[in-house]
Structure 1
Amino acid sequence: MNLLYESIWATLLFIWVMIVVYPITKNLYKYMRRKGISHIKAVYYNRKVIHILAGGLVSLTVPFLFETPLLPAILAGVLAIATYMPHRRNKLMDWFQTEDNIYEVHFCIMWGVVITLSWLIFHNWWYGVIPIVFMAFGDGVTGIVRNMLYNRRTKAWIGNLAMALVTIPVGYFVLGPLGGLAGLIASIVEHFEIKPFIDDNITVPLISFLLLLIGLPYS
């Protein structure tokens, strides 16, 4: 697979992310507001939709489309800048961004870091993809469940239970018992954060990855 081929796929994936961020979630936000859903609930629903449809689905394509982390890392960097600049310029994409944090930027950065490290250390994409999947799909489900039950952003444990129901079987199916353990730890770690600097977008993929790194020789 040559660089030109990978560049085409990276461009298509970038376009897909833009489709998710703009027509899909922007219109979804308008629809939810018309249905009487509060602004903040609509924003957090959209963040989880982006987690799943952009971060999650794109990560699953990496092992099949790319031979090195060069273009995935560039893609993550571009998206990190693209999500950070509205905060810098005070022109938020207010259908999914909020003034009080830049957690979506953290997600883009950690996506690139963990995916890159999985290739550099293991030469196996799945050790990076699975921690990202924990965050994208697991935390996505967590946020949706909490959003349905509460009218504010909360770290209620019911969300962590929902996350565990996703991350444990996914981790076990792909990486065996060690992956299942990583899924369990990820679902617990998600509950804790140090505002505004360290949130679950950092801790979940990073700690999951480190657990896989430390535990692999013993598995």
Structure 2
Amino acid sequence: MISMVEILASVILFLWVVFVVNFLTKNLYEFMRARGMRHNVAVYYNRKVIHMLAGGLVVLLVPFIFKTPIIPLIIASLLGVLTYIPHKTEKLMYWFQTEDNMYEVSFCIMWGVILTLGWLISEGNFWFGVLPIIFMSFGDAITGIVRNMLYKRRTKSWWGNLVMALFTIPVGSILGLAGIFAGVVVSLIEHFEFNPIDDNVTVPLSSFLILALARFYTPWMLTL
């Protein structure tokens, strides 16, 4: 049974995401451009800001608000559609979307799918889905920001992956040895691209599979 608290929280969180995507990052883009930053650099920074403030912050609140992943999955699916439509209509939200990929769409889809699968395999423990999304939201954002600062373009760099590991490994310890191992793996796998599959798929999926295998075969590696 979905409670009124969940419904109210969903509305607030959805409005927060809309604010981040349509107001905060749009104004941040204009601010960066006014100071001479190149379009592609500003766009890339904005994508990482959205990763953290929309995807990351919201998923951290999920275990404390929701009893099931039903509403989060619905909202994530809706956001996936809303970010896909500008590509279909060729009316991109220029301050964070690009013509050459739809990675923000896969971000929304994986956010909802992994959160739901984690809850299902753990019989109601949201953290099995939350941790992979934290890796995708904050970990990937951190490595992206480092790369953007160093190279001023979208590229891969082991420096970024090293910084990502410094985040994902200690955060992964929330779920024990399996979480730590997942943190190591995602910091490595993020470095590689498997077009058309992007790291918004490989990072949460690989870490989720590690946690799922640990859940069923090596539960001693888990603390929750």
What pairs up with 1:132-151 in 2 under 5 angstroms? 132-151=133-152
Match of 1:10 in 2: 10
Q: CA deviation at 1:207?
A: 0.6
Q: CA deviation at 1:215?
A: 2.0
Matched, 1:152 2:144: no
Q: CA deviation at 1:2?
A: 4.2
Question: What is the RMSD of the two structures over their aligned residues, measured on CA atoms?
Answer: 1.0
Q: CA deviation at 1:211?
A: 0.5
What pairs up with 1:1-219 in 2 under 5 angstroms? 2-122=2-122, 123-172=124-173, 174-195=174-195, 197-216=196-215, 217-218=217-218, 219=221
What is the TM-score when the length of structure 2 is the normalising length? 0.95
2:176 alignment partner, SS class:
helix
- Partners of 1:157 and 1:208 in 2: CA distance: 19
1:124 alignment partner, SS class:
coil
For residues 7-53 of structure 1, give each alpha carbon's deviation from its aligned partner in whole angstroms, at most 9, with x where no partner exists: 11111100000111111100000000011110000000000000000
**Runs of 4+ residues deviating >4 angstroms:** none
What is the TM-score when the length of structure 1 is the normalising length? 0.97
* Unaligned residue ranges in structure 2 (runs of 5+): none
Could you tell me which amino acid in structure 2 is paired with residue 204 of structure 1? V
- Partners of 2:118 and 2:140 in 1: CA distance: 21
Identity within the alignment, %:
60
- The number of residues matched between the two structures is 217
- Partners of 2:36 and 2:177 in 1: CA distance: 44
- Partners of 1:79 and 1:192 in 2: CA distance: 26
- Partners of 1:17 and 1:148 in 2: CA distance: 25
